[in-house]
């Protein structure tokens, strides 16, 4: 497995039996990035054999509970397991007050640095640059400050005449479609996108700043993405097939996120 994303949770605001809240792990040649950390994320990491000790970078899209409530349990477990290496958390600026509360009340056993890097840009901004890895953050269209992410693998040629290789995974949740979105994820190999509702709830999606599966597919098509992964499903749908069918009418390379399922780019 070289460059991939594994979904740990597919639910939106309300977790249900068998469906956890938002959390995903991007694996780039053994370097792991946790994107969002909904309730129960650490149990899902254990269930699917993903090492917590290798999570150095955590990307939090926004401060709604279904994307955040698992973070302090995860940090506590890291401390109990004797972690000493730093953790870097990229999250909106208001996360700092939550982190201070956690450390003040539950941080006695934390022996490692927890570094919060605030997200506050109004357009695409590179937030991580590590050798062959680049991570960009960009604002979403949600009810509060919210950010999407693009993780780029850059392989330099080993021999003269060989081309450079760029592969990328983008994550856009939670958001309603907006004018610049497709441009900001243009050409991405794999796009994970908010697909909370089907067409029957398009008006509701707009009201609460989420996307329908069809709207997600329209973004993927406009961006020229390779594959679209639909996720962040409303609990009102018991069969996600309707979401997949509506997306594939626009973008045939659409797939449903499933907990524990890995999609590989290369």
| Token digits of residue 100 | 């201070």
Per residue in 119-173, pLDDT tens? 999 999 999 998 889 999 999 999 999 999 999 998 877 777 777 889 999 999 9
Range of the domain at 122: 3-262
Residues with a catalytic annotation lie at 66
| Token digits of residue 197 | 């509702």
Whether residue 56 has pLDDT greater than 60: yes
Per residue in 75-92, pLDDT tens? 999 999 999 999 999 999
β-strands 87-92, 55-59 pairing: parallel
Strand ranges for 29-92 from DSSP E: 31-37, 55-59, 87-92
Q: CA-to-CA distance for 123 and 251, rounded, in angstroms?
A: 26
CA distances from 92 to 28, 64, 138, 148 (A): 24, 11, 11, 11
Which helix (H) or strand (E) element contains residue 165?
strand 165-172
pLDDT for the residue 76: 97
Q: CA-to-CA distance for 93 and 212, rounded, in angstroms?
A: 28
Burial grade of 76 (CB within 10 A; 0-12, 13-18, 19 or more): middle
Q: Phi then psi for 67, rounded to 5 degrees? A: -115, 0
Is the bond preceding 48 in cis, omega lying within 30 degrees of 0? Answer: no
Q: Residue 98's domain is classified under what CATH number?
A: 3.60.15.10
DSSP designation for 249:
T
pTM of the complete model: 0.95
Kindly report the number of other CB atoms within 10 A of residue 146's CB atom.
23
Structural domain count of the chain: 1
Q: CA-to-CA distance for 75 and 219, rounded, in angstroms?
A: 35
Whether residue 1 has pLDDT greater than 70: no
| Token digits of residue 194 | 């908010």
pLDDT for the residue 142: 98
């Amino acid at each position: 497995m070289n460059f991939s994303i594994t979904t740990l949770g597919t639910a939106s605001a309300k977790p249900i039996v068998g469906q956890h809240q938002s959390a995903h792990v991007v694996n780039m040649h053994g370097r792991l990035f946790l994107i969002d950390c909904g309730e129960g994320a650490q149990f899902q990491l254990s269930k699917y054999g993903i090492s917590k000790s290798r999570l150095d970078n955590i990307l939090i899209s926004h401060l709604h509970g279904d994307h955040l409530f698992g973070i302090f349990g995860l940090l506590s477990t890291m401390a109990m397991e004797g972690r000493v290496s730093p953790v870097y958390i990229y999250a909106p600026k208001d996360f700092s007050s939550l982190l201070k509360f956690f450390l003040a009340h539950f941080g006695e056993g934390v022996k490692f640095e927890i570094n919060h890097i605030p997200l506050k840009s109004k357009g695409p901004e590179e937030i991580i640059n590590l050798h062959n890895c680049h991570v960009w953050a960009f604002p979403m269209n949600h009810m509060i400050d919210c950010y999407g992410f693009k993780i780029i693998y850059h392989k330099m040629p080993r021999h003269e005449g060989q081309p450079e290789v760029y592969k990328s995974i983008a994550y856009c949740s939670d958001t309603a479609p907006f004018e610049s979105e497709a441009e900001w994820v243009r050409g991405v190999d794999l796009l994970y996108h908010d697909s909370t509702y089907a067409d029957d709830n398009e008006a509701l999606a707009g009201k609460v700043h989420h996307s329908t599966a069809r709207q997600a597919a329209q973004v993927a098509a406009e961006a020229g993405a390779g594959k679209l992964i639909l996720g962040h499903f409303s609990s009102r749908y018991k069969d996600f097939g309707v979401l997949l069918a509506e997306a594939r009418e626009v973008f045939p390379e659409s797939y449903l996120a499933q907990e524990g399922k890995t999609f590989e780019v290369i």
